[in-house]
């Protein structure tokens, strides 16, 4: 009987985690689109980079959702794809920063501030939703860490927009974009490395977000 109850409790926990991950995945997916479009219109590499971070989180949540109840090999395969996509997107942001540095840009401060504040609110909501699972499954833990780190990045974008307004120059926006892209690159490489170690049997599990 206790074994049966244990299975039922685990199933209930898995279902609760899946519902939560669907919610945070949807929130981050919508904000990725909003920030990407706004970043393009506002000529802001910072918003584009922050949208990349939102997309990276969406991928992390998707992997976490896929990984609930799956084997380590399934988790590792999904994490590898996640890491490669993050790496490619981060490199695209770096190329965008270089282009704007060479050709110039005029970031629209008001749009950046409004969208960055909305993104911060979304990440606060995700952080609160994930809080009670922060000591649970490693993928859920990683998702919670992602939300925590994202709030810091959102604040960085807001500060960079204020600096652009004060200096009337674009370089603060480019600096925060490079910072976020670099963090995503390191995270992607770590995810890929962890997935490889799982495949070689050198690691018992993988996470999804580092920083």
What is the mean pLDDT for each group of 10 consecutive residues in the chain (211 residues)? 51 69 88 93 91 81 69 73 82 89 90 94 88 64 73 92 93 92 84 79 57 49
CA distance 121 to 54: 13
DSSP string, 57-74: HHHHHHHHHHHTT--HHH
Q: What is the pLDDT of residue 199?
A: 73
Burial bucket for residue 196 (CB in 10 Å: 0-12, 13-18, 19+): middle
Report pTM: 0.76
Read off the pLDDT of residues 105-127 as tens digits, 9 standing for 90 and up: 889 999 999 999 999 999 899 88
Closest among 80, 89, 33 to 56, alpha carbons compared: 89
Candidate CATH numbers 3.30.70, 1.10.287, 1.10.3470, 1.20.1510; the one for domain 13-199: 1.20.1510
Q: What is the pLDDT of residue 205?
A: 55
Q: Are 90 and 184 in contact (CB under 8 A)?
A: yes
Read off the pLDDT of residues 146-181 as tens digits, 9 standing for 90 and up: 777 788 889 999 999 999 999 999 999 999 999 988
**Extents of the domains making up the chain:** 13-199
């Amino acid at each position: 009987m206790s074994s049966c109850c244990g299975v039922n409790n685990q199933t209930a926990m898995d279902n609760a985690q899946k519902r939560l991950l669907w919610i945070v995945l949807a929130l981050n997916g919508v904000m990725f689109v909003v920030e990407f479009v706004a970043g393009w219109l506002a000529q802001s590499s910072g918003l584009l980079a922050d949208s990349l971070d939102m997309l990276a989180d969406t991928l992390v949540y998707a992997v976490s959702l896929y990984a609930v109840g799956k084997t380590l090999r399934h988790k590792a395969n999904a994490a590898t794809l996640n890491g490669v996509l993050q790496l490619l997107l981060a490199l695209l942001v770096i190329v965008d920063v270089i282009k704007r540095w060479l050709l110039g840009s005029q970031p629209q401060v008001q749009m950046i501030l409004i969208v960055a504040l909305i993104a911060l609110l979304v990440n606060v909501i995700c952080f609160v939703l994930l809080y009670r699972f922060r000591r649970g499954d490693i993928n859920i833990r990683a998702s919670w860490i992602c939300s925590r780190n994202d709030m810091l990045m959102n604040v960085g974008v807001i500060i960079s927009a204020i600096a652009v307004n004060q200096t009337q120059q674009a370089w603060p926006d480019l600096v925060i974009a490079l910072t976020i892209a670099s963090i995503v690159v390191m995270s992607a490489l770590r995810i890929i490395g962890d997935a490889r170690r799982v495949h070689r049997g050198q690691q018992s599990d993988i996470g999804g977000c580092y920083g």
